Structure 1
């Protein structure tokens, strides 16, 4: 359902809100004084309490079933219901929260029960994450990093045939605003032959989107590229914190391990596939000479509308900047159109061998850098592997993250004729 761009809500803070106008309605799990963990909907600066709305009798039919699943202390049950349930709930929420809602005379007297100030609530990881897979579909990041180590051949031969990914650690996925402790591990200093143990000296962030899986598949049965979009429940922001010095020593031959598993931060709200429908776009054409995807990864409809146009932003604020009252400094501005593979292709490839995906599984896209300076989604790229220091507005310099640094991700969808929507923030401060 497409909502008119000028539609307004009786929740006044939603009108003109940069992230959560009536047109967005993302879901999350929250708690606050006197209330246990439960599902809610972001609307302006407020959270619409789905359980309270159910108790008050505001949902019927398919929307009631969907709201019941979404009101629990995890969204797995709601994700499992798939797109029809999401659409039914979204349609009913649009009617309930619109300024001209037929239910307005019932809703407004119950506002204190139905709405909770977001600033007074605690957000939680939205689902019980059984499995987490981090992909590597940001081709410019792959090129930029590849050039640091293989200047003459930055991309490995399989990159343009296979959506590269690895299995990450679900137990350390944390909600935005959770502090991140600098990890310890083995590193090999330049010129040394024996590794040393200690805290990472080359701690980095990675700008990614998170993809929440909806209905899963039966083990042994692949998800067709034609049907893959039906298995995508929604999206969030994701910071794949990376200890580059640990990674350099451990990644051969099996890839990242301790350098990634210590923490992954995600934004709190799940922006649904339906809310993002106006911002779908064609997958960028592959450069001349690139191979066509193998048939199991190629669908005309997915190529025509399976990509998303989401602006991505990285900001940094240091302890010194906070003390001086300075605003966070933008380090990068990128876009999801820098993905070499679509999300549907990621889903199809992940399951083609019969791997079982389950509701609440989480994918990371990989770092979504652009091709130019000012668009790089990691300090590894900005500092050219630590060779060049970044000078901040405070006069400080950074090659990698230092204690007290706070990384902030934001995202925005804009298109003429439609209200813009956002994702909230994904924050983390280094301890």
Structure 2
């Protein structure tokens, strides 16, 4: 089990909706009056949540995602960040705020050095830039609000403002992407030495404009084999530049692994605030057996505000997990990481015989060279990274 907890805050506003996005988000220009009410609701939801924060303390990471948090006025976002940090620190007396990794997601089109400086002063110490690509045609097909020049300038501005921990998000398999275009993007990104790069393969989510365009034949995306070639192109380029692939889609310079993401992959405890946010924490239900809760808030932004501001919980659903289910989740998530997961350690931590159930499954996949095993420790084999879900599905 992970040591320490996390906070995730969802800001569902953006400059414009990207063609591939199915996250809970809406262009800020369409609902600007709602933004102030939403921020007030976040603060209201946070206040009684301090009790839960104490149970999962010390808080090791805070992450404001979206949407595009930086679509909000910088002063309002900085105020929210400061309040979150105060709550996190107060949850564990004496906890050093410098030891909290505090990330804010940003779109290159919605930041400047003045706003970034405000975030730094509020305690944010890690910026995650949604660059996705530097190719003009790919950016247009993805519906991104920035161009290549803005993306590179955003990286430079973040460094100039004082950010010493910077992530860049890239998309593998964008419409029209070729090995040559991806190599050009990677060359320019690596030259600026972000501390961390996330390179996720494009997912065509049902109902998004891009999915409909691909289904109708108006837009073409790389097929599975081409996407695999692009993925391994990125892996080779990043690893040769000194980045370590510590999870299927995440690469970091030494010591710059994302603490917040590691918390998820280690089945850590976290509080989610905002519309569509999820939480994971120990249950307070009585009885001799330990149990855990996974809960999620309503995804309707207006309903979230109405519920919270009228004194009701925004929770839309929850499930309670016993030790067996929690241990299986820990194995499934940990398999994606370079370090992998030790089934004996997980079984001891949760008091269940997880090895009896899962070792035969993992050994079967190891014979197919999709899983690497050393004793009771297992991980997805590097060459099987893009088909890992086939293995993970049998671990649930």
| Shorter-normalised TM range | under 0.3
Query: What is the TM-score normalised by the length of structure 1?
Result: 0.23
TM-score by length of 2: 0.25
Of the two structures, which has the highest relative contact order with CA contacts closer than 8 Å and spacing of 6 or more? 1
Q: Could you say which structure has the higher helix fraction?
A: 2
